[in-house]
A and B are shown apart, each in its own frame.
Chain A
């Protein structure tokens, strides 16, 4: 099969013929139809993830079943499928206590060393990580479900959104944008999107944002308070991960509000308010972070996309043939055109 291989950090991938993966008894072999490029692939390319070279990247794939292991029951050759690449250990304290999203020993197929990713004609996953893909959902959109929408939706569930809530999203990138779509899947919710890039705000507006704000032109906190009779938002989702946006997020949430941190901050964070008591303590807020996703969320998520309660029609910004993978990686690396998702397609 053809696969894009990373041989040396800092170099381009080379497409080569290699043997198909061996299917274990519980595995499903996917003939890849589409694979998304994730920002996490950039971390791997930069050497920030422990991988063994040569390595095949990619963890956001959809396709059809090419082969199944002897113990696989739910899938047969030809089924349309999508994969979720996070394999949990099922043994640690967290897996045993219904907290698989924080499994101590999880691996991400395609991201962690010794695993083969989806930037190849065939991609292998355990049966438990594979889901049927309804006819209504095209392959390119299905790749979005596997990772950005799954992560974003997990955060939305943590946010405990209720009908009628005002939800503020800081950050209109892949996670923030899909968190907004997730929030909008609750009836009569109004979402405000905040980003410094007008193009992302325009997209958010088209996808249903009630208000958009660009903090380089206006103070979002002031505007949010103005739009909520001084109360602040019921829910704030922070999907940037900067000290400034995290602090703005806390200032934007109202009394008894919920806040979810979805950005992964790699810089030093410090909560600091002019009035700690009024801005923080006396609001009695709940702040939670959100990481990865859970298997039990996948079926409902697929159903929400199938029924268009979550509309992914604007999520794939660019489609490239698999052969142009290096071009795609460059675009994502340099954030050319502020795209939500770049997806590679196979013949």
Chain B
């Protein structure tokens, strides 16, 4: 089969013929139809993030069609449309047992962790447990958007116990930030305010259904958010940057009893420094505010997301996807880094 193989760090991927992976009894052979290119992929190629032993096939945002099933597979049959969850959790540790497999003690990721090759390839072998049926109403590209970008945003909104009619602000309007807007709309937000420093990002995010946009380079977002919420602040703030300054701004943007969701995952050292002597006291203690971290997603959220997309409660039409053939994977990696598209997707 054809695959894009990472042979040397910092070098372009090499497209070549590799043997078809062997199918274990509990596995499904998925004929890959599409696979998204993730920032994590770029970080692996550039050597910033560890990857499997080279040569290695990356790619963890796959959707496709069941080509063959292992002997013990009971839930899938040949020809079915499927979406893969790349997170290999053990199902046995304490975190898995209470439904938080995102923190599985022996967490591995297909296309990232050693010995679990990914799906920048015509076929992928995926454990049955990691596959979900893709309803006919949900396109392959929508499937890629679900497992790549919607999942952490959805997890964040869900983890905040977001209630219909609540107000929210989103700091950072990149791909996950805009997905957060879509999830918030689906959960019934009455007011969504977006904050970014990039004019282009703000313009793009407006299309996702923001009520207000704030360029935090031009005006104080905390002050503006308070003005827009009758002086109180929002019910829930989402920080989707992973930056000290925006984490503080997000906390300061919430009302008394408000919640701040930290969704941003920084790849550098972060210190959350409540600058003023009484910053912590006024913005957390006195407000009885909460800071809640959301990281990744959990297994049980896939059926929920699939249903909501199927019913068009979550509508991906404002997303800008770019579909490319496998041969253009290295250009695709470059475009992903430039951030012009919601997702660059390889199609087979």
A-to-B contact residues, CB < 8 Å: 93-94, 99, 101-102, 104, 158, 231, 246, 255-256, 261, 264-272, 276-277, 280-291
Contact = CB atoms under 8 A, between A and B. Distances in A.
26 contacts: A94-B257, A102-B286, A158-B288, A255-B103, A256-B95, A264-B285, A265-B285, A266-B277, A268-B275, A268-B276, A268-B277, A270-B271, A270-B272, A270-B273, A272-B273, A277-B266, A281-B293, A282-B295, A283-B293, A284-B159, A286-B290, A287-B290, A288-B290, A289-B287, A290-B288, A291-B286
A296 B216 CA distance: 41
Interface residues of B, number: 40
A287 B95 CA distance: 19
Given A269-B279, A269-B280, A286 B292 contact: yes
Nearest to A101: B288
Contacts of A231: 94
A106 B191 CA distance: 28
Nearest to B265: A281
Cβ-closest 4 pairs across A and B: A102-B256, A269-B280, A271-B272, A270-B273
Given A256-B95, A287-B290, A264 B277 contact: no
A184 B27 CA distance: 47
Interface in B212-271: 230, 232, 255-257, 262, 265-266, 269-271
Given A99-B257, A255-B95, A284-B103, A276 B285 contact: no
Contact of B103 (A104, A265, A280, A282): A282
A291 B285 CA distance: 6
A266 B293 contact: no
A285 B288 contact: no
A101 to B, nearest CB: 6
A253 to B, nearest CB: 11
A284 B272 contact: no
A289 B98 contact: no
A347 B276 CA distance: 47
A265 B281 contact: yes
A235 B48 CA distance: 34
A98 B185 CA distance: 25
A246 to B, nearest CB: 8
Contacts of B230: 93
A295 B203 CA distance: 47
B276 A289 contact: no
Contacts of A282: 103, 295
B193 interface: no
A37 to B, nearest CB: 22
Interface in B86-138: 94-95, 98, 100, 102-103
A99 B255 CA distance: 11
Nearest to B263: A281
B270 A268 contact: no
B95 A268 contact: no
Contacts of A256: 95, 98, 100, 103
B97 to A, nearest CB: 11
Given A261-B284, A284-B295, A288-B288, 5 more contacts: A255-B103, A256-B100, A264-B281, A269-B273, A291-B286
A287 B291 contact: yes
A276 B256 CA distance: 27
B59 to A, nearest CB: 23
B306 interface: no
Given A101-B288, A256-B95, A287-B292, A276 B281 contact: no
A99 B275 contact: no
B346 interface: no
A49 to B, nearest CB: 14
B145 interface: no
A285 B102 CA distance: 13
A265 B280 contact: yes
A284 B293 contact: yes
Contact of A277 (B102, B265, B272, B290): B265
A347 B271 CA distance: 55
Interface centre among B98, B273, B277, B280 (most CB of A within 10 A): B280
A255 B94 CA distance: 10
Given A102-B257, A256-B103, A286-B292, A276 B287 contact: no
A256 B98 CA distance: 10
